[in-house]
């Protein structure tokens, strides 16, 4: 078996190795690329290879809470109590703490006098708005009794407690005109509670 010539180092050409592939083959046909060429080829192959694709996924949740409907119930009616029939022209202010103040009228003691009371039920810890009327007229002959200046004692922003309940009281001012008929004078007014 014939062996090829030893490898030769050619200046500027890198390392070349000649090997006879088979007996009688042309040695010139058995020239391998120089190591420098092989290194460049590998580098080119490495640089042209596509980068591995990367991706990341994550899941989250979507949620919604349907608030409980708000409800309003009356616990007490608004009652200004008795007014002296001989001095009925003036005002009676009934505060939310139950105190009555007279303006130009006489007020006999009357245990029936009381502020209106209401109870709100709904979603715990939710804020709500109270809407009161501007004026209510109680018909009384040719003149009338007007109820104005409605107010409530739910200070700040009215909010249901942790059980979903809240109580509040309503006071107002009674304005009495002259020539009023004796007896009870009754009217109605509307209170509105809504979610903020």
**Is residue 99 located within the same domain as residue 160?**
yes
**Residue 51 domain-assigned (yes or no):** no
pLDDT at site 55: 83
Query: Which of 126, 25, 28, 2 has the alpha carbon at shortest distance from 70?
Result: 126
pLDDT at site 148: 94
Backbone dihedral angles phi then psi of residue 8, each to the nearest 5 degrees: -120, 145
Question: Which residues of the chain have a pLDDT value below 70?
Answer: 1-53, 85-88, 139-143
H-helix or E-strand spanning residue 48: helix 35-48
> Domain residues for 36?
14-46
pLDDT at site 7: 47
Other Cβ atoms within 10 Å of 137 Cβ, number: 12
Query: What is the CATH number for 76?
Result: 2.60.40
pLDDT at site 180: 75
Q: Give dist(CA 128, CA 39) in Å, integer.
A: 78
**Is residue 175 located within the same domain as residue 118?**
yes
**Is residue 40 located within the same domain as residue 96?**
no
pLDDT at site 142: 47
Give the residue carrying structure tokens 């088979």: 22
Q: Give dist(CA 149, CA 174) in Å, integer.
A: 9
**Is residue 94 located within the same domain as residue 186?**
yes
pLDDT at site 70: 87
Task: List, as one string, the DSSP characters of 16-47.
Answer: E-B--SSTT--GGGGBPPPHHHHHHHHHHHHH
């Amino acid at each position: 078996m014939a062996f090829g010539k030893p490898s030769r180092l050619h200046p500027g050409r890198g390392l070349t190795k000649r090997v006879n592939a088979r007996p009688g083959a042309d040695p010139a046909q058995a020239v391998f690329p120089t190591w420098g060429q092989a290194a460049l080829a590998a580098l080119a192959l490495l640089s042209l290879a596509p980068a591995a694709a990367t991706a990341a996924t994550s899941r989250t949740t979507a949620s919604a809470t349907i608030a409980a409907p708000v409800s309003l119930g009356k616990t007490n009616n608004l009652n200004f109590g008795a007014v002296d029939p001989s001095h009925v022209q003036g005002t009676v202010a009934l505060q939310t703490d139950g105190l009555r103040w007279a303006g130009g009228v006489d007020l006999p003691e009357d245990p029936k006098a009381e502020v209106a009371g209401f109870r709100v039920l709904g979603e715990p810890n939710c804020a709500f708005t109270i809407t009161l009327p501007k004026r209510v007229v109680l018909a009384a002959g040719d003149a009338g009794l007007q109820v104005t200046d409605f107010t409530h004692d739910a200070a700040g922003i009215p909010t249901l407690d942790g059980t979903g309940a809240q109580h509040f009281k309503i006071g107002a001012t009674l304005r009495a005109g002259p020539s009023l008929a004796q007896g009870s004078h009754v009217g109605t007014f509307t209170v509105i509670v809504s979610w903020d």
